Structure 1
């Protein structure tokens, strides 16, 4: 039997690259699960059910969904946010994330995260990753993932149309947000859930390579080989 050559790695050509943070650039799973487990234990809730839907979603939306009737949602959210901000042990970058970020032009990259700016800064620094100059955090939008507002805002800030961008995401809510924005999406890691048609998947960035060429107007054209 003839040996078949492995399929060529897919390549996506774009003008901007948008990244989620937790689970996509930064592995903060241990801390996220600790905080929500403590929340569930305190209120007699099912932590498994909370974690099934909380990844990639703003903390206030998860609190609003699971808090007991009559609870002060804003106060509980502030408490959870404060817990997350002081826990950095075990936060690491996903393999290859730092190298990929360094290889991309700064004016063509954005972070789009359900964390607020304070937490985003803390976790990116803990992981040793440079914060992109363009960052759309929870405090800058009115509707969190799975709504597409964050990704649409990032594309607008970078001066590109949604179809000219590529998103890297790890959670079902974030993947849904990117697709709703009309942006090609690459799922990252083991927690993506069933993937919609057309969504590619990578384990991490170990094999991802970016090449950049200016077009006739001097704008970057980015080729991402997955």
Structure 2
């Protein structure tokens, strides 16, 4: 698999998608663009490699230039803590910041090896998750589904923000209102993906189970 597009095809088939069109539909990608990326007619960027890698459960470095192992090596029964989630100085917007740390945590009950976690920093999520808590979600980047409406979920906007918000219906199809636990509601956001929260571990227990890198 010397070529980038060949690795993309392998990642897609091993994820269980028989065709490029099926994968594009599942993740909300443009079919023609994805097909061109996979057949080698249009080489994709590293930024796009990160998106594809997250969807197919492989490492972006492997997908982009064959660097290292194909899949993340968290270890049996462990998943990665991928960042911190908190609030900006005004206490308005909840956000997640990516980290390169090697922190790990056990897979939560009902979770899978595709799960990841973020650790809460600060008190902007009081009532849902206190400072130091772990929030788990499945790292599968699918568009929002109707069963997510009214629930607090993890989302990524088209402006590259990863947020923990209550998902509400927007004013038109394809738009969503994002209700904060503290601060005003963001109206009519466009989302790349949304994921249910699968577990929240309180701070005391989180401190005991996190394996620091």
Greater fraction of residues in strand:
2
TM-score normalised per structure 2: 0.28
Question: TM-score, with normalisation over the residues of structure 1?
Answer: 0.27
Q: Which has the higher contact order (CA 8 A, sep 6+)?
A: 1
